[in-house]
Amino acid sequence: MNISISKKIKNPILPGFNPDPSIVRVGEDFYIATSTFEWYPGVQIHHSRDLVNWRLVSRPLNRPDLLDMIGEPCSCGIWAPCLTYSDGLFHLIYTDVKRFDGIKDTPNFLTTCETIDGDWSEPVYLNNSGFDPSLFHDDDGRKWLVNMVWDYRPNKNPFGGIYLQEYSPDERKMIGPVTNIFKGTDLGLTEAPHLYKRNGYYYLVTAEGGTEYDHAMTMARSKTIDGPYEVDPIKHFVTSKDNPDLYIQRAGHGDFVETEDGQVYVVHLCGRPLPGPQRRCVLGRETAIQEAYWNEDGWLRLKNGTNEPDDIVEHAGLAACEWPDENPRTTFEGEELPIDFQWLRTPYKDELFSLTERPGYLRLFGRDSLGSWYYQSLVARRQQAFNYRSETKIDFSPESFLQKAGLVSYYNSHKYHYFYISINDDGQRILSIMSCEGDPSQNFIFPLSSSEYASVTDSDGNIVIPSNGAVYLRSDVAGSELTFSWSMDGDNWNQVPCVLDQSLISDQAGKGAGCSFTGAFTGMACQDLAGTKIAADFEYFDYIEQP
């Protein structure tokens, strides 16, 4: 039974790789859309009725015409979606970034749907001038697109300001002039625009300072939609940049929403670093929420009296609405992959896996290496807590050292730890660990031999296991440490004598540090560099968060 109670909201509300939130309310329902980058299907949408309890309900970009990211580099793909509701339709604006370095290719699209979990319309191409597009529905019926412009020219600020142009829903295209309405503040890196209208003012919210520890939300306003825009007197109304001791760091890139009774809440990107000077965020960029209000001068302010985010937000009003607890064990009886799981880049999932060829199992077909940007047979879910255990049971009989399958802790194509089954030159089935610690040209295979395992390892230090039978694999993560274990019966476990650095599976580690935008995943993988697409069958997958 739902009752009106005082409650506390614990941040982040969407833990573990849920960045760039866009929020909308439709009646009593709240929805947040977040970025998914190279993971498929594209865009995560969570639903809540009380702003406390959230559940994942949809990934709209689930067809080739809506999204195809084959060959796109890591941290490309879906950047910063915008979700709005108007004229009886949800409107989803998104960028599919095709190129990361230098000149960026950033085609922007619009798709619509009557329901949040329905079949979304064929996409409308909008422009290619920059990323972070957002659609504003004005009260006179006109619709306007804003996006940051990427200026690739030498000796120019690549964050060239915020473009405004009208969109015609009848013609399904952009119309009229393009106007640069805002160049940002001295913090720089101005992006993530959203437009709003209140009491005769157009309000423009942007993100500035980059997505690391100088991130911030900046507000400006104007009496006319095309400016000029007056910057908020305090400049950045949400930021963690001046207080490294806050639990919620990297606060920026956000949106706000009003409840039916007029309460205002700001959602924003954030990160929670592991302890230590490296400040690595293995959970990636997450989503937090803050209570806010409009002050007498017409500027948005946080309810806590500062511009710094709280990790605990107190409020009263909305009826409590809790969702059923998730089962820590995922089984594969259905014909569709459970919603917590994703794969990489391709819309053609049948080329990677099947849930019907062996009923009750997830069958992965061996494809490219873990470093590929094309066809990876990797099915995984987000790491959403600093401490967790994952476990799976795998049936796999390799015929060549070019074939492997197992359990992986994965960030991107050059940051992962992989505990896998393969075969050695003597035809023995073995277990081994491959790690890529931030440089895609370097893959380390760890010798696992020790006095404890000397009787069960081969000359290369791999663990020799029986030639037949399913194998149980387990990973345990505690902060920055990762260990792997294995069992032949599911009861008697053997921990591999090797502690791996889980902090490498983060935004801030290795090649691309500071330009990596996703988060850690745990999941199942299968490779076949011989090209025969050998199958590996997974019976279940456990994800259990630990204290």
pLDDT tens-place string over residues 269-278: 999 999 988 8
Report the pLDDT value the prediction gives residue 3, as an integer from 0 to 100.
Answer: 39
Nearest partner of 520 among 339, 281, 352, judged by Cα? 281
Report the pLDDT value the prediction gives residue 439, as an integer from 0 to 100.
Answer: 65
Report the pLDDT value the prediction gives residue 441, as an integer from 0 to 100.
Answer: 60
Q: Is 539 known to be catalytic?
A: no
Tokens read off for 276: 């230590």
Report the pLDDT value the prediction gives residue 291, as an integer from 0 to 100.
Answer: 95
Q: Is 20 known to be catalytic?
A: yes
Q: Which CATH class is domain 4-319?
A: mainly beta
Name the amino acid, one letter, at 188: G
Annotated catalytic residue within 20, 50, 286, 528: 20
Report the pLDDT value the prediction gives residue 481, as an integer from 0 to 100.
Answer: 96
Give the DSSP per-residue string, 461-505.
SPEE--SSS-EEEEEEEETTEEEEEEESSSSS-EE-S--EEGGGS
Report the pLDDT value the prediction gives residue 318, as an integer from 0 to 100.
Answer: 83
| Positions in the chain whose pLDDT score sits under 70 | 1-6, 316, 439-455, 511-515
Report the pLDDT value the prediction gives residue 51, as an integer from 0 to 100.
Answer: 94
Report the pLDDT value the prediction gives residue 26, as an integer from 0 to 100.
Answer: 97
Annotated catalytic residue within 38, 50, 191, 286: 191
* Percentage with pLDDT > 70 across the chain: 95
Give the DSSP per-residue string, 240-301.
-TT-TT-SSEEEEEEEEEE-TTS-EEEEEEEE-PPSSTT---TT-SEEEEEEEEE-TTS-EE
Report the pLDDT value the prediction gives residue 1, as an integer from 0 to 100.
Answer: 30
Widest distance between CA atoms in the chain:
78
Report the pLDDT value the prediction gives residue 454, as an integer from 0 to 100.
Answer: 43
Report the pLDDT value the prediction gives residue 83, as an integer from 0 to 100.
Answer: 98
Between CA 540 and CA 352 the distance in angstroms is 17
Report the pLDDT value the prediction gives residue 317, as an integer from 0 to 100.
Answer: 74
Report the pLDDT value the prediction gives residue 129, as an integer from 0 to 100.
Answer: 96
Report the pLDDT value the prediction gives residue 515, as an integer from 0 to 100.
Answer: 66
User: How would you write 339-392 as a 3-class SS string?
Assistant: CCEEEECCCCHHHCEECCCCCECEEEECECCCCCCCCCEEEEEECCCCEEEEEE
* Topology (CATH level 3) of domain 329-545: Jelly Rolls (2.60.120)
Per-domain residue ranges of the chain:
4-319, 329-545
Report the pLDDT value the prediction gives residue 5, as an integer from 0 to 100.
Answer: 45
Question: Would you say 438 and 424 are in contact if contact means Cβ atoms under 8 Å apart?
Answer: no
Q: What is the pLDDT of residues 18-62, one digit of tens each?
A: 999 999 999 999 999 999 999 999 999 999 999 999 999 999 999
Three-state SS for 226?
A: coil
